[in-house]
Chains A and B, each alone.
Chain A
Amino acid sequence: MTELNYTPEDADRGNANYASYHALWHLFDIGVVTDLAFASEAWDLADENCEKPDFKPTRVALIDVSVAYEHPNLMGAINTDLMIDFFSARLGTFPRPNVAPAFNLATSFLNGAAPMGINPIADLFLELVAHLPGEYVASAGPWNQPGRVLPTTSATFSAHGTAMAGLIGARPKTAPEVEFAIASRIPLNKEDGSLIPLKQKTLSAGPCLPYAGVDPYCEIVPISTSFDPDPEQLILAMLYAWLIGADVIVLARDFPDPLRSGITGRRDGNALLPEELKAIKGAYPCELSQAELALWDALHDLTLAMSQTIPIVCASGNGSDNSMIYPASMATAPGAPDDNGIIAVGARAATRNRAGYSTTSTQTAPVSVYAPSGDGERLDLAIHRMDTLDPDYRPHDHSVSYRDDLGVQYDGASDVANPVTDSTYATQSITSTDVPGLAGYNASPYPYATNKDGALFDYRSYYCDFSGTSAATAIAAGMLSLGMTSGKIVKGDGPSAKKQLRGGAAPTDDANATPALRWSVL
């Protein structure tokens, strides 16, 4: 008997031999860091400024899901005193109030007046300001007080917020600040009961956590929200950012306004086309009340008004089309008569091509700036881009008519001269901070991240691959914050901040993913 000697034709597939890369490649790509000595004009300027007696860290309001604020790289980056949650408690509650007697929440209320006078906004602002100080004291009490609502901020379900926060403002941690626990090895047991010890495992580097966000000087205030299409919750989250005097607002999410989220990127003035509105209304599963539509209108006006003073960094969306999510879809071109401080961020892969999924400009709203992120596969008339290293990539599934266009892929053994420029698909994702242990984007083989003394079992699970226009938005927000920390960008002027961040008013080129985020143009 002879064995069957046949190799199926489709056995040819991607070998998954991805090259490794530096977790902070994006800091080099945007020019914040210029060499392996981590020379950085930006960080040098920030170093100088933060020594000044009147230095106030740039305050970044992160309207997202909750953040695993105990992540070692986020210690010092998160303002846990002001961190608030609007998921479960209508007027907000504080996950970790400061119990020091000297702390008074009201001293953090930097803007005492509502940003605009229209009715629902002003009323909600007064309600919020009246509620928060008492809530702060009460939320410092035990968890089992009657009549209270707890925050919905478990670290376990905070992956997105944690990755966002890390990209914006993580701090590197040195050996004295972290402790690694290394699992010992059980010796081999011989027939006679004697033992053969195994060489104990050692770390190749560390213990330390050499990871940094774009602006490791800023303070991030997490404002956690749910995804309930509830305009009131979003108004209150925005008003809180206003109240605490945020310098930057980050929105890597959409506002699910029923009548402002387009199907396509076509527009009638600043509104959706009548036929799109008709389609959306006809398919809407519930009856929309006048009251809720009025609140959505108020949120729209509030966001535009606030963006005049606080730049609002918004993800443009991952739809691969030109529909752009709302509120990014309100971004204006710099210098436009109705210019605002809404910054729509698109994603640019390590190849410097637009990422395959990144939403492009609508008819009226240009992508403001393209920032680094991971890539996405596409196979359509517009873009041929696939990860040919993926084990599920089988060349024989594809037509020769386009297969050669899928581009050069590189791996550890490749002799491609310059993999970054010679590839069409970028295999680099963005590395960011992750919820440790089982949860998060990158699960650890250890269910618990630390031992009882707080030593880390597995530093790998503190990091994850992150991508999408979310990652690009976090990096752009970090850059904006760093621009303010270093004194290059003036706080309090949204439209100017946008113009500076994109390096002027040159028109957006979606095909070439420009303007790209670059320190040198600030």
Chain B
Amino acid sequence: MAFNRTILVEDWLLAEGDSFDLVKAPEPPEAMPEEPEEMAMAMAMVAAGGGASSVFNRNRNRNRNRNRNRNRNRNRNRNRNRNRFDGGLDLDSFGDLLTPWREIERLHEVKAAWVDLPLPLPPSPTELKIETLELFRKLRELQTEAERGRREEILIEQSLELSGYLRPLGIDGIGGYDETITLFLMVSQICEEVGLRYKSGYAVSRPSVLEPRLRTFLANPAYESYPSNHSFQSFSIAFTFSRVLPEHPAIAALFRSSRRIAENREWAGIHYASDTRAGHDLARMFAPIMELVLQEQMLRARAEWL
């Protein structure tokens, strides 16, 4: 269908500073904003629009970004999300996060949309035993010098530890990304509740319960195996952030880091590969709920990057 070309001739959209202006063409001088109120509004919009961006397709003002980053403090609270419980406890600590009651309320309002996601049923015990063979290999390799780094990661990742997500994004230990960190904590907290509900329904035993000869690196957590909540949380952070800022060039690296954190639970001998995969699939299917429930926090996080 033909479109109306005349309107392009009669009126112009102009880019003005960091905002836009609609004017009559040819542009008469009196068409420009001249009243102080209009000018003030235009200026306010310049401030709200914000042209600077650390995102690669908006890199108009490199200078502004550079200075902004330089002026950011080292994150004074960088340890606040670390586990405060030493030893073999498998506890999730949500640091200083207040319970996101509004988001949780919304989560429950749309419960019908997530309570029955088509997650496949867990493998049968016969198939799980075949998966256990891989765990024997991983546990053996974990004790080699090559995997020393992974041993340390596994211990740190027993509790919620965000550096595995912040580092690929380039913001680990840098201040000024508090809303992004808060978002990740909220994602984790919501996943914990949803994940426990799914686990309870399937009631799959941990690998070393089915096969006691498997000497695990970590003690078995108190809840069921399928799906892996570490995997669900880890991939949910990646899926959610990829909605917040798909323009970030390290999104694939974030997903890979999430995957390593999820798979480290297999290396520790406390999850099957099928648990990890189910956690990933659940995170993927749960993403539309997350972007609804956490919309406001996601926008706050996005604003830190634009």
Binding site for B on A (CB under 8 A): 16, 18, 20-24, 36-38, 40, 43, 46-47, 50-51, 65, 76, 87-90, 143-144, 146-154, 156-157, 160, 171-175, 185, 198-199, 201, 203-206, 208-212, 216-217, 226-229, 254, 256, 284-287, 318, 357, 374-377, 386-387, 390-393, 428-429, 431, 438-439, 441-445, 458-460, 463, 465-471
Contacts and interface: CB of A to CB of B under 8 A. Distances in A.
Contacts of B50: 443
B56 A318 contact: yes
Contacts of A47: 2
A376 B62 contact: yes
B63 interface: yes
B163 interface: no
B80 to A, nearest CB: 25
Interface in B21-44: 21-26, 31-33, 35, 37-38, 41, 44
Contacts of A438: 299
Given A50-B1, A357-B56, A89 B20 contact: no
Interface in B233-279: 235, 238-239, 242-244, 246-247, 249, 251-252, 255-257, 259-260, 263
B49 A377 contact: no
A174 B235 CA distance: 45
Interface residues of B, number: 90
A87 B51 contact: no
Interface stretch (B177-185, B195-203, B205-213, B280-288): B280-288
Contacts of A393: 63
Contact of A212 (B1, B3, B235): B3
A210 B1 contact: no
A443 B48 contact: yes
22 contacts: A23-B15, A38-B8, A65-B243, A65-B246, A150-B288, A152-B243, A152-B287, A154-B295, A156-B299, A157-B298, A206-B11, A208-B11, A210-B12, A228-B284, A229-B252, A374-B59, A438-B299, A441-B306, A442-B19, A443-B303, A465-B51, A468-B56
A407 to B, nearest CB: 15
Mostly helix, strand, loop or mixed at chain A's interface? loop
Given A37-B9, A89-B285, A387-B63, 19 more contacts: A144-B112, A149-B285, A157-B291, A185-B37, A212-B3, A229-B256, A287-B263, A374-B59, A386-B63, A431-B15, A444-B45, A444-B48, A445-B44, A458-B45, A460-B21, A465-B15, A467-B60, A468-B58, A468-B59
A24 B246 contact: no
Given A204-B24, A205-B11, A150 B242 contact: no
Contacts of B97: none
Contacts of B60: 374-376, 387, 429, 465, 467
A205 B246 contact: no
Contacts of A375: 60
A387 B63 CA distance: 8
A150 B63 contact: no
Contact of A149 (B5, B12, B117, B299): B117
Contacts of A471: 57
Interface of B: 1-26, 31-33, 35, 37-38, 41, 44-45, 48-51, 53, 56-64, 66-67, 110, 112-113, 115-118, 235, 238-239, 242-244, 246-247, 249, 251-252, 255-257, 259-260, 263, 281, 284-289, 291-292, 295, 298-299, 302-303, 306
Contacts of A442: 18-20, 49
